[in-house]
Structure 1
Amino acid sequence: MSSEPDLARTVRIAARALGKHGLVHAYGHCSARLDADTFLVCPARPMGLVEPGESCTPVPVDGPLPDGVLGEVRIHQHIYRTRPEAGGVVRYMGPNAMALAALARSPKPRHGFGTYFAPEVPVWDDIQLIRDDEKAKGVVATMGANAGVLMRGNGAVTAGESLIEAVVLAWYLEDVCRVELEALKAGLADIAPTIAPDAAAARATKAGMIFERMWDHLTAGDPELPK
C-alpha cells in the first residue's frame, strides 16, 4: 500500500485530470483505498479546482461518513466493503455517460474499450441521488463484478484495482458510451456487431502498459507531477 501522503497526491492528481478532460464538473468525486479499513476521498468541491497539497479525507470502509464528506461517497464505501480487490473508485458525469444513463440504455462492447465492461455495462434504474446506504447498496449490487455502472440520469461509477485504473476505466467508459450513442444516432444500435465474450476477455488486457500510458496522457502537465 502507498503511504497516506503519496496516496493523497495521487487522489489530487486524479481529481484534476478528471476535471481537465471533462469527465466531471461541479460534481463528481474519486477515492483510493489506504488499507483494508480506510480510503482517501478527494476534497468535496469541483475536482478541477483541487489545489496541490490540499487535504484528502480519510473515510472508514464501515461506519458513518465523516463531516464534510459528500453523501454519495457511500457508493465508494460499499464498493470497498464488497470488493476487496478494489483499490480506486471514480464517480463521474461525462456528457456521453450522462446522455446514455438518461436513456437507461446499457452500452454494448463494440470496440476495444468496451471489452473491459463486457458483456455490457449494468444500469441502476433510479434517478434519485445516492445519499443513503440502501440506495448505495443497490447501485453496488447492480454493478456486481463489472468495472462500471451507469446510474439513470446521474452518470456513472468505475472501480479498479487502483485509482489510476479506475480513472482510465472512466475515460474508457465515456468512450464506450460515445460509440453507443453514435450507433443509436445512425440507427444501427440493434444490428451493429458486438464483441463476443471470448474475444472480449482476450482483448481486455492490462499488458503493454495500457493503463499507465492513458494515465500519463490524462495527467500530463499536472503541477504535482515531477518536472
Structure 2
Amino acid sequence: MADPRAELIAAAQAMRPAGLNRGTAGNLSVRDGDGFLITPTGMAYDDLLPDDIPRLALDGTSAGQRKPSSEWRFHRDLYASRPEVGAVLHAHSPFAVSLACLRVDIPPFHYMIARFGGDTVRCADYAIFGSAELSTAALAAMEGRKACLLANHGLLVAGRDLAEAFALAVELEELCEQYWRACQLGSPTLLSAAEMAEVIDKFRGYGQQ
C-alpha cells in the first residue's frame, strides 16, 4: 500500500515544475482517517522526507517532529465542514496572485470557470495568513465551490484527492493567466447566467467513465 506521506511529498515537489510555487511558499494536505497530513512550515519541498510530514487531528492538535504549515486552519476547516474533500492545495502562483491583489472575482469569461462549481471564482476577503479570520473568509468564498482566490495572497483549491486538487490548481492558474491576458486587450465578453447554468449542468457528468 502506498505511503500517503510519500504521495504528499511527490505532489508538493511537482508544484514548482507546474508553475504553482517557488521556494517554501504554499502548502498541501491530504485527508488521513479522522485527521490530515500537511506539509511542514518553512521547509523546502525537495528536502522533505516522510518523517517530516506532521499529522493533525481535526481539533488542531499536531503529531510529528515538524511544525505544520502556518495555514493549517483552512485545511482543517475544509476537512471538518466538507466530507467530500480529500486534499487541499494552496499556492502563490503568479497569475492567481496578480488577480488576488486586485481583490476581484474571476467572472465567467470562459466556460471552464464552471469546473470549480459555479459561474465565478470568488475572491475571499483579506485576513492575515495563518489566522482563523482567513479560514473563515476562505470557507465563505468556497461555499459551493472547489476553489477561490485569497485577497493579496494566492489561490486555494479543494479536491476529492491529491490528483484532483493538483489538477484544479493547474487549471485555475491557467484560467487566471487567460483572464489577465484577455483584459490586456479590452473587457472580455462574459457568458450569461443561462449559458453558465447549461455548462454547470453538463459538467455534472463530464469526464466520468
Alignment TM-score > 0.5, same fold: yes
Q: What SS does the aligned partner of 1:90 have?
A: strand
Paired position in structure 1 for 2:16: 19
User: How far does the alpha carbon of each residue in 1:174-215 deviate from its partner, in whole angstroms, 9 at most, with x for none?
Assistant: 0111121122111123x3446522223314655268xxxxxx
Paired position in structure 1 for 2:162: 163
Contact kept, 8 Å, 1:38 with 1:59, in 2: the verdict is: yes
Paired position in structure 1 for 2:173: 174
In 1, the alpha carbon distance for the partners of 2:119 and 2:44 equals: 31
Structure 1 unaligned spans of 5+: 210-227
> Structure 1 pair 169/97, CA: closer, same or farther in 2 (3 Å)?
same
In 2, the alpha carbon distance for the partners of 1:139 and 1:173 equals: 16
In 1, the alpha carbon distance for the partners of 2:57 and 2:80 equals: 10
Paired position in structure 1 for 2:27: 29
Q: What SS does the aligned partner of 2:3 have?
A: helix
Paired position in structure 2 for 1:223: none
1:89-168 counterparts in 2 under 5 A? 89-111=88-110, 113-117=112-116, 118-126=118-126, 128-168=127-167
Paired position in structure 2 for 1:57: 54
Paired position in structure 2 for 1:75: 74
- Provide the aligned C-alpha RMSD in A: 2.3
What amino acid is the match of 1:177?
C
The worse-fitting range, judged by mean Cα deviation, of 192-201 and 78-87 is 192-201
In 2, the alpha carbon distance for the partners of 1:164 and 1:120 equals: 23
TM-score (norm 1): 0.80
Contact kept, 8 Å, 1:112 with 1:203, in 2: the verdict is: no
Q: How many residues align?
A: 203
Contact kept, 8 Å, 1:44 with 1:69, in 2: the verdict is: yes
In 2, the alpha carbon distance for the partners of 1:159 and 1:145 equals: 11
TM-score (norm 2): 0.86
In 1, the alpha carbon distance for the partners of 2:174 and 2:114 equals: 12
> Structure 1 pair 152/22, CA: closer, same or farther in 2 (3 Å)?
same
**Cα offset for 1:42?**
1.8
**Cα offset for 1:73?**
1.3
User: How far does the alpha carbon of each residue in 1:82-127 deviate from its partner, in whole angstroms, 9 at most, with x for none?
Assistant: 101100000111101000101112113444542212211111121x
